[in-house]
Structure 1
């Protein structure tokens, strides 16, 4: 662990007990997980608002939402990480679904596919998206950190099975697998750079013949992607492209959050994934712990993020 990282971590912004700092994977995994929760909490206040030119970096109250509170994005991601306790992908997916049903009453902002899986009401205008939203990618991405690049086949099976338990569409599953691959490759210290994110996705595409052609082509042309005027939708491919746009063009984690939120639409999901991915690929210069509003995130709501980080590290070391 670098001295810079140690200084940031012990600066008092966050509880140092959130993770076991003795692991050499901690420098990558810890900020990635914490940035996910922070981006989620920050992005909630801009969700489904119009696109904007400038984002002011403060956490503000949102009606019906606690200041700094995270959404279902973080909570479902932590439940998915918890499923890593199981010994195979099928058992893990089943464990997630049991946990989802147990915790559903306290989850804020559940999407239409997840609500359908729980037998909850879905709005008429949401029915067409059921099974093909960004929820699978959103909640399985961080689990990619638990697998080394050399365990790509196991990671692919694990992420696909977990995604499929709620999302049936090939696009939703494929985007989940690709995003998890990008996080997984970040655990290889020899290849850390923002440009490596696209290399990681293309590596997965080369090894995985189930990725649809339209997704392959979209990633190859991602530098030509134009953000939609109406904001980022729940469409998984559109969300993936928004995350790439926000991450690859960012100078630090705060900038990744800003770019994601300026897009409008599903800002909490895009900010969570973008900031987290930036931190994973830039473990020594991400700037996460310099964000002044970071202590305002409702960390007390998710104290078990410590166990989640430690489980990812433990699982990742097994797959070394």
Structure 2
């Protein structure tokens, strides 16, 4: 059974009736229910398609945060061979909110920077819900330094509500660590590609997403602040998060029009959580195409194109 979002209630009701009919048929209390089950399944599929064809920005936010949505570790398992994680920032600690290391993507060596939220209570606590601390961003810089030294492309998988805002993180230089990671990503002489697989929250995301190519899943979001945070600041009322989400242009479709991102990876009907293998395969194809577009470019040209890409965002607004 799926975990249904609030706006998916019509689908949940129909699929609930299907389960009831199947239970009755299995118990022998009903006969000839196959036609009715088939009709209801068709209706459920059509209702789901209709709902997802016109999602509001707030509904996309809920989909991007869905607990069953595939996380970075699953993309790594599905796309990267011989992945070797590297731990620690060589200064303070290892931050497991960012998984980092090297592996092979479709025959090509790549460095991986991935924000992992965790999939159950234990892993969410271990990965701090994907909210990195300064040591996480310093680990990212260390991996990017290695990638540049050995001329290996960098792949970032972005999924965070934002950098960790706790006192300890601030004491250890959170803003400085984010700035240095962003600066390193912007200045790399090797290709780097980012894919926003869920939430791309604020500086916590852009620290590893300031890349040559930025891609987003169809129902992912990418924003300077969460809708709840924006509503609290603008109206002193976090309950107006839906209104903020609509005004902020946080969806992949809006950001593609604005030139903030370079491409959208289509999700299966009903979101990535309904067909994980399919969306991971599609993500792999999009990443492969993005990397292929950068093959053969020298370090100077890679930096020039990346610089022009980000400068053009401001010019187009």
TM-score (norm 2): 0.31
Higher relative contact order (CA 8 A, sep 6+): 1
Which structure has the highest helix share of the two?
Answer: 1
Which structure has the highest strand share of the two?
Answer: 2
TM-score (norm 1): 0.30
